[in-house]
Structure 1
Amino acid sequence: MLERAHLVILREVERQGSLTAAADKLHLTQSALSHAIKKLEQQAGTAVWTREGRALRLTQAGEYLLAVARRLLPQLEYADEVVRRIARGEKGHLRIGMECHPCYRWLLKVVEPYLERWPAVDLDVKQQFQFGGMAALFNYDIDILVTPDPLHRPGVSFVPVFDYEQVLVVAADHPLAARVFAEPADLAEEVLFTYPVELERLDVYADFLLPAQCRPKKHKIVEATDIMLQMVAAGRGVAALPRWLVEEYAVKMPVRPLRLGASGIAKQIFLGVRDGDEQVEYLRAFVELAANTAGRVCGEVGQEAYSVAD
């Protein structure tokens, strides 16, 4: 009774704002669209939309079917694309979503060998999501989600690819630079630079400052890692970043990492994949390469930084 074409029509009418514009977009006549929906209404025994002058207004049934269209059509279109690429002898299109600002530098080190091994795979990286990374994954806007804070939900599996430590980074001549670790109270007179992330998802707040009921003197948002670390090196403030990233910059910039608290803050980077998609060869290969590359890259960075510091 309900066909994919019905969902396509409903979605396009909603997108274009009128039946005429939707018909033009779908390369069909307006009468063909009207006939298709009328046949659906007859079979369902209820109206999908009603006319208010020249405008169309969805009924309760129409609103429900539009919600179904928004949920199912992206999945069907994704399946169509994968099958078409397989039929053409291509490997696929891999879309990676980033919920971790500093992880972009790590990702570059994974992407280079991946593209060499999978030359027929198109790869896109997205860092902005309308409703968050998990929604983008469920809506088939991305295929892999890179995140340090996985939200475990049915239908998605998270694979840890490497461990790291979140540290405080200060200028080399900062009073805290000679310390092994910082206490929450040490930030009371500091300007704290962070990425544009909700406070509850910032480890330096959630796992360090707020449990001790402490806050920095000032909190400033900085989007670019390079700018953030230049500000720290200039003595304008402090920041919380992955140790491997700070050590990489410490080779060429006067900054120092120290633990957040005596025990430090241990973190992991996860790759989120929709259940079933792990069977896609080029997607599975990326996850495996990411896990193998991460440990080697982070280890090499740490050793290089320590040797320079020595």
Structure 2
Amino acid sequence: MPDTPLDLAHLRAFHAVVQAGGFSAAARRLHRTQSAVSHAVRKLETSAKVRLLDRRGREVRLTEAGRRLLSACDLAFATLDAAQEELGQERGRAEGRIRVGATVEFGCSVLMRHIQPFLAAHPGLEMDFHLGHDLLTPLLREEVDLAIDCHDHARADLERTPLFRESYMVACSPGYLASHAIREPEDLARCTVLSLDKAGAWWERFLARFPRTRRPAFGRVVAIDHIRALITAAASGMGVLLAPSYSLQEELARGELVPLFPSIRPHEDRFALYQKTARARLAKHRLLKAYLEALNPAELGA
């Protein structure tokens, strides 16, 4: 007796469960009930005659057979999406939706200021944005289609396109500078250092410029886990901060912050565009990739 063909709707349900991390999240994504999604996956396993998921309470894990099928689904659904795009292109324009992830400060200070020309040039495209610190998880779960990130994600299933360099600056308010007489990095021992983390790992970009035996010591470290709040705190005179240079342009222009140690250049980060390799051929992805590669944001000193 020939094998039963695998049902496309069942495959979509299986794919959604894996990408969303569970049946409840997959049901919300597919706008179906959890029981309907669970039933679809069971039917798929019956048709395939193999277990695809290990269910442990609310946690689901792929079996080896499930991993192989997931890879096939990624390719198949990307091919179907590309075919749908080609049909749209016959109408003379790119169409569809792109979900873009970006780091919070880059998204606020750079991306939102430069994305409108792309949207105006492609009125058939819709774009939604997710700003956050962890962009890899939503990218792998297909909650975003592309991610602009300064963290390195070396994975075989992701395509990486280098974009912009991100330089950093040490700064404080003019009043704080005057009251603490900051002239050399060693003076930071008398200062309150503002950092995204209590351990001061955020400052490693600056400290790495010094030999370990000569690294400046910090006085008090105040942790503030949001870059915009960090900048506001520094501008109000709470202490010294390290932040991406583009994030500080308005405060510098208004005289609320002044740069420190201009001869010392903290290590730079490099923004890159990440997307699943299987989906990199989509026309709308290629259009956005080309636009970002050609972009020279003044905020980044380009």
State the TM-score, normalizing by the size of structure 2: 0.68
What is the letter of the counterpart of residue 84 of structure 2?
R
Higher Cα Rg, which structure: 1
Identify unmatched segments of 5+ residues in structure 2: 25-32
Q: CA deviation at 1:235?
A: 0.8
Following the alignment from structure 2 to structure 1, what is the Cα–Cα distance between the partners of residues 170 and 220? Answer: 16
Q: CA deviation at 1:293?
A: 2.9
Q: CA deviation at 1:119?
A: 1.5
Following the alignment from structure 1 to structure 2, what is the Cα–Cα distance between the partners of residues 49 and 230? Answer: 48
> Aligned runs of 1:129-168 on 2, under 5 Å?
132-168=134-170
Q: From 174, 177, 183, give the equivalent of 2:176.
A: 174
What is the letter of the counterpart of residue 120 of structure 1?
G
Q: CA deviation at 1:110?
A: 2.2
Q: Aligned in 2, Cα 1:156/1:87: closer, same or farther, shift over 3 Å? A: same
User: 2:294 aligns to what?
Assistant: 292
Q: Secondary structure at the match of 1:294?
A: coil
What is the letter of the counterpart of residue 260 of structure 2?
L
User: 1:83 aligns to what?
Assistant: 83
Partner deviation per Cα, 1:195-249 (whole Å, 9 max, x = no partner) = 4799656644773689537444123214251x33232122112221122322233
Q: Aligned in 2, Cα 1:115/1:262: closer, same or farther, shift over 3 Å? A: same
Following the alignment from structure 2 to structure 1, what is the Cα–Cα distance between the partners of residues 6 and 250? Answer: 55
Q: From 15, 26, 40, give the equivalent of 2:48.
A: 40
Q: Contact 1:187/1:215 (CA < 8 Å) preserved in 2?
A: yes
User: 2:124 aligns to what?
Assistant: 120
Q: Contact 2:85/2:283 (CA < 8 Å) preserved in 1?
A: no
Q: Secondary structure at the match of 1:254?
A: coil
Q: CA deviation at 1:126?
A: 1.6
Q: From 107, 113, 116, give the equivalent of 2:111.
A: 107
* Residue 219, structure 1, aligned to residue 222, structure 2: yes
Identify unmatched segments of 5+ residues in structure 1: 301-310
What is the letter of the counterpart of residue 208 of structure 2?
D
User: 1:251 aligns to what?
Assistant: 253
Q: Secondary structure at the match of 1:154?
A: coil
Q: Aligned in 2, Cα 1:153/1:176: closer, same or farther, shift over 3 Å? A: farther
Q: How many residues align structurally? A: 278
Q: Contact 2:159/2:280 (CA < 8 Å) preserved in 1?
A: no
Residues 7-16 or 241-250, more deviating:
7-16
Identical aligned pairs, as a percentage?
A: 12
Following the alignment from structure 2 to structure 1, what is the Cα–Cα distance between the partners of residues 164 and 73? Answer: 34
Q: CA deviation at 1:83?
A: 3.5
Q: Secondary structure at the match of 1:193?
A: strand
User: 1:303 aligns to what?
Assistant: none
Q: Contact 1:170/1:177 (CA < 8 Å) preserved in 2?
A: no
Q: Secondary structure at the match of 2:259?
A: strand
Q: Contact 1:99/1:133 (CA < 8 Å) preserved in 2?
A: yes
Q: CA deviation at 1:166?
A: 0.7
Residues 173-182 or 146-155, more deviating:
173-182
Partner deviation per Cα, 1:256-300 (whole Å, 9 max, x = no partner) = 123477344333322223336444333233233223333445448
Following the alignment from structure 1 to structure 2, what is the Cα–Cα distance between the partners of residues 285 and 48? Answer: 36
Residues 94-103 or 259-268, more deviating:
259-268
Following the alignment from structure 1 to structure 2, what is the Cα–Cα distance between the partners of residues 70 and 233? Answer: 49
Q: Aligned in 2, Cα 1:201/1:94: closer, same or farther, shift over 3 Å? A: farther
Q: CA deviation at 1:82?
A: 4.6
What is the letter of the counterpart of residue 107 of structure 1?
L
Partner deviation per Cα, 1:110-167 (whole Å, 9 max, x = no partner) = 21111111211121222347xx433433443323221223233324343332234211
Q: Secondary structure at the match of 1:241?
A: strand
User: 2:30 aligns to what?
Assistant: none
Partner deviation per Cα, 1:4-23 (whole Å, 9 max, x = no partner) = 5565566789726xxxx666
Q: Aligned in 2, Cα 1:104/1:92: closer, same or farther, shift over 3 Å? A: same
Q: Contact 2:78/2:278 (CA < 8 Å) preserved in 1?
A: no
Q: Aligned in 2, Cα 1:81/1:63: closer, same or farther, shift over 3 Å? A: same
